[in-house]
Amino acid sequence: MLGDRQGPARPIRAECAAMNIVYLCADRGIPVLGDKGASVHVREFTTALARAGHEVTLLCATQGEGNPYPPARLIELPPDADPTEIRNEGERLGIGQGEYDQTMRREVDKLICDRRLAARALDALDAAGVRPDALYERYALFHRSGGDLASALRVPYVLEVNAPLVYEQERFRGLRLKAMAEDAEVTAFQRADHIVAVSEAVREHVLSRQVPVNRVTVLPNGVDIRCFHPQADGQWIRTRHGLHGRPVIGFVGSLKPWHGLDFLLDAFMLVSRQWPEAVLLVVGEGPGSAALQSRATENGLAGKVIMTGRVPHEDIPGYLAAMDLTVAPYLPQDGFYFSPLKVVESLAVGRPVVAPRIGQLPSLIEDGVTGLLFPPGDLAACVGCILTLVNGPSRRQAMGHRAGEAAGGSSAGTKPPGR
């Protein structure tokens, strides 16, 4: 029983000696071994903890596949509710049959799984002989059980918040049980001993949930410069896709609705009028893949828009190195809260980034030094920035050099990717 383990949390040792840390990722939409940015973030963070000398146990809802295991004990706790339980829970909540669509069933399933998660996690940790010193959780929608788990273990509880998930879910995917999602979020935020927010906008969201200021720290996303550095080799990518001698404008990401891919294609069509041999290299897959490919074909850009589909994360440095520049084409929006991995990875490889002057991006990209910024939503300005870099190879390479240096690498010996 959870109650058998209740008591005051053991403090983290002041000398910061090696600890046994449990990392909890209850979001079933994040396959730990997958390619999406969140998956990379989980692996890289647990890897950083291990490199710092800590022993890490990673509890996750979805293990996934496609990339190497991080240096951690990985325990998968997949959702375990069956259809009958989900239907009965819906009836208990007073949800009518007419409301019971796929979205509603998915949300009720998450509520059931969260209710059981702490006990399942305790059993799994006991079976593995794990006695943690701290719990670190990546916050997941509808989940509040991290606080229960930390209390049962009597350890400090740190919660990482990457986005205002209730807002994001409602806007981009659909959310039926919004009040319950908000209640779970408030509970999780207020129970955490400390919260790590990936951007100032996320910090403001956390504070709006009545969390004390001294319990929130902003820690933007970073990059492993042992993998992402200016000496990364992109020649094999240029050979594979026939890119030698062609200007390559790149995008790396999961092709989500908020990435502004239509805007990027509009910009590229205008760029290609001046540079017919230019290529738009889109690396990744996601909900926007089919629509982007269809639009490119309809506009006569076959052979100019190259979509790679899924690429293992270990190959991303090579793809970035094959690009002359990258674009982060986010559209205008209030409260821009992203801390984009694609931007820091591009800069670390020594590729300047064109992006809107919004949210955290101006703090990541020094305008005119490591990239170029444009007013959000201004297509002509975006095209102008891209053409400035395509038309000025020496300036572009100087920006790339400074980007690589700023990221902590050395661009000595870096060569242009192909032109």
**314 and 358 both lie in a single domain:** yes
Domain termination residue (choose one: 154, 187, 218): 218
**330 and 375 both lie in a single domain:** yes
Q: How many domains does the chain have?
A: 2
User: What are the C-alpha distances in Å from 131 to residues 15, 22, 123, 152, 369?
Assistant: 19, 9, 12, 12, 48
Lowest mean pLDDT among 81-95, 260-274, 315-329, 355-369: 81-95
- Cβ 224 vs Cβ 44: under 8 Å: yes
Element (H, E) at 20: strand 20-25
User: What are the C-alpha distances in Å from 148 to residues 142, 174, 182?
Assistant: 14, 28, 18
- CATH number for position 14: 3.40.50.2000
Q: State the pLDDT at residue 9.
A: 54
Residues 161-196: pLDDT tens digits?
999 999 999 988 899 999 999 999 999 999 999 999
Q: Which of 167, 157, 160 is nearest to 25 (CA)?
A: 160
First to last CA, the chain: 65
**8 and 141 both lie in a single domain:** yes
Show Cβ contacts of residue 256 under 8 Å, excluding neighbours closer than 6 positions. 172, 286, 287, 288
Q: Is 49 inside a domain boundary?
A: yes
Element (H, E) at 264: helix 261-274
Q: Is 411 inside a domain boundary?
A: no
pLDDT at residue 417 is higher than 50: no
Q: Is 226 inside a domain boundary?
A: no
pLDDT at residue 409 is higher than 90: no
Q: Is 250 inside a domain boundary?
A: yes
pLDDT at residue 341 is higher than 60: yes
| Per-residue confidence band for 16, with pLDDT thresholds at 50, 70 and 90 | low
Dihedral of alpha carbons 79, 85, 89, 91, sign: positive
| Per-residue confidence band for 219, with pLDDT thresholds at 50, 70 and 90 | very high
Q: What range does the domain containing 346 cover?
A: 235-406
**284 and 176 both lie in a single domain:** no
pLDDT at residue 7 is higher than 70: no
Domain termination residue (choose one: 218, 243, 269): 218
Domain termination residue (choose one: 218, 249, 283): 218
DSSP state of 309: B
**296 and 322 both lie in a single domain:** yes
Q: What are phi and psi of 159, to 5 degrees?
A: -115, 125
**157 and 270 both lie in a single domain:** no
3-state secondary structure of 96: coil
**148 and 21 both lie in a single domain:** yes
**Hey, what are 18's tokens?**
């090696």
Mean pLDDT of the chain: 91
Q: Which residues of 319-329 are buried (b: 16+ CB within 10 A; e: fewer)?
A: bbbbbbbbbbb
**248 and 323 both lie in a single domain:** yes
**288 and 400 both lie in a single domain:** yes
Q: Is 225 inside a domain boundary?
A: no
Q: Is 62 inside a domain boundary?
A: yes
**309 and 162 both lie in a single domain:** no
**68 and 205 both lie in a single domain:** yes
3-state secondary structure of 93: coil
Q: State the pLDDT at residue 277.
A: 96
**Hey, what are 12's tokens?**
């983290």
Higher pLDDT pick, 87 / 109: 109
pLDDT at residue 376 is higher than 70: yes
**196 and 301 both lie in a single domain:** no
- Calculate mean pLDDT across residues 383-388: 98
- Calculate mean pLDDT across residues 368-392: 97
Q: Is 415 inside a domain boundary?
A: no
For the chain, count helices (H), then strands (E). 15, 13
- Calculate mean pLDDT across residues 210-228: 93
Lowest mean pLDDT among 7-16, 255-264, 404-413: 7-16
pLDDT at residue 410 is higher than 50: no
Q: Is 210 inside a domain boundary?
A: yes
